[in-house]
Structure formats: C-alpha cells, structure tokens
Amino acid sequence: MKRLQQIARWWLLASALGLALAAGAAEYPLRVLDIAGRAVIVPQPPQRIFVQNGNTLTALALLEREDPFARVIGWNNTLGHSDPSIWRLLQQRWPQARSVPTLDFDNSGHVDLEALVRLRPDLVLLDIETRPAVEGGRAGPLLAQLGIPVLYLDISRNPVVNLPRTVALLGQVLDRQARAEAYLQFYRQRLAAIQAVVAQVGERPRVFVESRAGRMGLEQCCYSQGKTAWGLLIEAVGGINLASQLLPGITGDIALETLIRLQPDVYLMTGTSQVKRGAQTIGFGYGASRDDAQAALARLMGRPGFRLLGQGPASCVHAVYHQFYDSAFNIVALEYLAKILYPQRFAHLQPADTYRHLLQTFTALPDAPFVFDIRRGFADRPCAE
C-alpha cells in the first residue's frame, strides 16, 4: 500500500503537468455519460488509454482508423485469446501493436494495480461487467484518487442497444464524432431495414443457439445464452430465443433431451478459432478453411442423440462466427441471423459483402479472406430453403 501511495503522488504531479499543457483544447474538459449512466469528466484529450476488453479494438478501428493502437498504452488482450485470427491481422496491419504492454484485468476486477498505475493512463476503458468488482474493490477508489477517468462500456451484454451508445461515447471522448456518426448511420439503416421486414412477420421461429459449440469437447451439449449476447441478437431480428425461456440465469447448459422434445425451428451454433485443450469448436475467422469448418460441424452433429433434432422442422444446422456478439461489427451478425431465420424474406442479403463494405468504408483493416458461416443438413439431406 505504501508503494501504491508513492506511485499515486508521482502520478498526480505528472497529471497536473499534462493537464496544464493540454489546457488550450476548447472541447475539454468534457462531461459525458458512460454506459453505466455515470457522469464522468474527461479533463483533456485522452492520449494514454488503457483498454480492459480487447474486443473494444473493433470500435477503435472505426474511430482511430489510421492506427487503433495509437493512444493505447496498455490492454488486456482478450482479443488475442478469443479470436487469434483477427489479432494476427491487426499485427500485420499495425506491427507496433505487438509492443503495446498487456496487463490481465478480468471481469472479477483482478489486476496488478501497481502495473496499471505505472502505465500512466489518462483514461481507463472498462467492461460494464467489471463495475461491481472495481467499485467494491481497490481499483475504483485508487483510480478516483488519482483523477483518472473511468468509462464503462458494453458491446456484448446488450449488443444492439449498447454498441451504438458505446461507439457514440468513444467518438465524443476521442473527438471522432463525425466518424462515429457515419458508422452509426450505416448501422441504423441496416438494422431498420431488417426490423421493418420482421415487423410484418406473423409466426416467429423458435431458435436455439449453442454458443461456442464444442468448447468442452464432443461430450458436452448444450451451452447457451439467454437475455444477453447472442440471445439478444436473435431477439433483435424477430426470433424467439428458447434459452431465455429455459435458463434461470443469462447463460447455462440445456439438456439435449429437452431440445429434442422442443424441436427448435432453427438450431444455431457459434464457432471460434479460440484454441483450448480438448475443444472441438468450428474454427471460423480469417484464413479459416471452409472444408475444415464443415468437418467440425459434422463432428458436432455426430454427437450421440443429436440426430434426433432433425426429425422436426430444424432440418438444418446453421453455424456462424462467435465473436460477432462482442464486436462493433455486430450488424453483420444481425444480417446473418435475419437470413437464417427468414431465408425467403432476406434472400437478397449478402452479409459477407456487408462486412467487406464496412471494412473498406469505415476502417483501414485489410480485406483478407475469411469464413464466417456454414450450414449442414441432417443425414446429409440438403437444408430446406
């Protein structure tokens, strides 16, 4: 604690000097509301940002197109764990990303506070899930004592509502309002087009999403998400998310026997290139092989008893890229879902083209080959259209 106090005193002196040098910025200090509804004062243009959720880099890629890492002085590289393929792409485009210090900071608030303070951040971006642990532990009071503003963000817990709010908030704080609004206009138009069609639909499909299918091997089934992440993405395009009705919490396992009895209209798996020992996931992402993805899906559909799901309307299993749920690009996931749930009404949608347009128009990310979706019929039957 004594060492932390010494670091704190040094930090306050350095911050005072930095504030004096930046005092000429007319837009600052800024008063903003973060996703938790907190009023936060950002005293100066942030130049030394710590990012706790690595997936926030997808939003920074929209706003800081020339270099999403330009103001990042440290991060919890969850992106490298959750999707190694996009992390490789980021390093190829911006090799300096490799030298950005990494610091573990999980949603339970566990972090090396001395290491965090030594990075001298002038803004800390935290996932909204960390708020109870941060404010109830040592990190919140220390950051407040040092005068380091903290913003709580969310692009995954309530993705359709909070992703636009998060992009707009970051655009305001980073003085990138025009870029934020340009992307959000595109986002809103695409979402409104989907929801206008869905509003005319009568009976809505019952959907089950097996999140990160095969994450614990081929013996486990079936982990899902309720009123969060993929569950809310499904509801945003007019699907009935069965897990919301079956789970006591927001995530958990649902027995395969229950799903066989219910016979979902749509069975959806999400896949990831995240490598864990024993995992049998569908390796979507950049540089992925469609043949390998199909083979992984076939193995998952070959689990004992799974074929009994094919006796009902769900004649086909669809699979999509998992990380869209925690990405500023989740509009692409919404288009994939709309096309899966209502194939005839959304036959015109080409989500892969939307993704390429998004990258080319709003980011400087390279357009590298990717695989984000596949499907497979039961007993080698073709999928029903």
The alpha carbon dihedral of 78, 84, 85, 90 has a sign of: positive
Question: What per-residue confidence (pLDDT) applies to 106?
Answer: 92
Question: What per-residue confidence (pLDDT) applies to 385?
Answer: 60
Encoded tokens for 180:
């934020």
Residue 336's closest CA among 282, 287, 266, 288? Answer: 266
**pTM to 2 decimal places:** 0.91
**Separation between Cα atoms, residue 229 and residue 209, nearest integer Å:** 11
**Above 80 in pLDDT, residue 133?**
yes
Fold of 2-186: Rossmann fold (3.40.50)
Q: Which helix (H) or strand (E) holds 210?
A: strand 206-210
Strand partners, 30: 42
Question: What per-residue confidence (pLDDT) applies to 23?
Answer: 36
Tell me the pLDDT tens digit for each residue of 268-298.
999 998 777 888 999 999 999 999 999 999 9
Residue 372's closest CA among 359, 358, 355, 349? Answer: 355
Mean pLDDT across the chain: 91
Query: Which range, of 47-56, 138-147, 305-314, averages the lowest pLDDT?
Result: 305-314
Tell me the pLDDT tens digit for each residue of 314-355.
589 999 999 999 999 999 999 999 999 999 999 999 999 999
Tell me the pLDDT tens digit for each residue of 96-108.
999 999 999 999 9
Residue 93's closest CA among 61, 63, 59? Answer: 61
Tell me the pLDDT tens digit for each residue of 30-66.
999 999 999 999 999 999 999 999 999 999 999 999 9
Which whole-number Å values give the CA distances from 365 to 139, 163, 252, 349, in the listed order? 34, 19, 35, 23
Fold of 203-379: Rossmann fold (3.40.50)
Query: Which range, of 3-7, 194-198, 219-223, 306-310, averages the lowest pLDDT?
Result: 3-7
**CATH 3.40.50.1980 intervals, the chain:** 2-186, 203-379
DSSP sequence for 114-162: HHHHHT--SEEEEEGGGHHHHHHSSHHHHHHHTT--EEEE-SSSSHHHH
Question: What per-residue confidence (pLDDT) applies to 276?
Answer: 76
- Per residue, the 3-state secondary structure of 225-292, as one string, reads ECCCHHHHHHHHCCCEEHHHHHCCCCEEECCHHHHHHHCCCEEEEEECCCCCCCCCCCCCEECCCHHH
Q: Which residue has the higher pLDDT, 8 or 377?
A: 377
* Residue type (1 letter), 40: V
Q: Rounded mean pLDDT of 292-315?
A: 89
Would you place residue 380 in the very low, low, confident or very high pLDDT band (cuts 50, 70, 90)?
A: confident
Question: What per-residue confidence (pLDDT) applies to 315?
Answer: 81
**Above 90 in pLDDT, residue 246?**
yes
Percent of the chain at pLDDT exceeding 90: 85
Question: What per-residue confidence (pLDDT) applies to 3?
Answer: 44
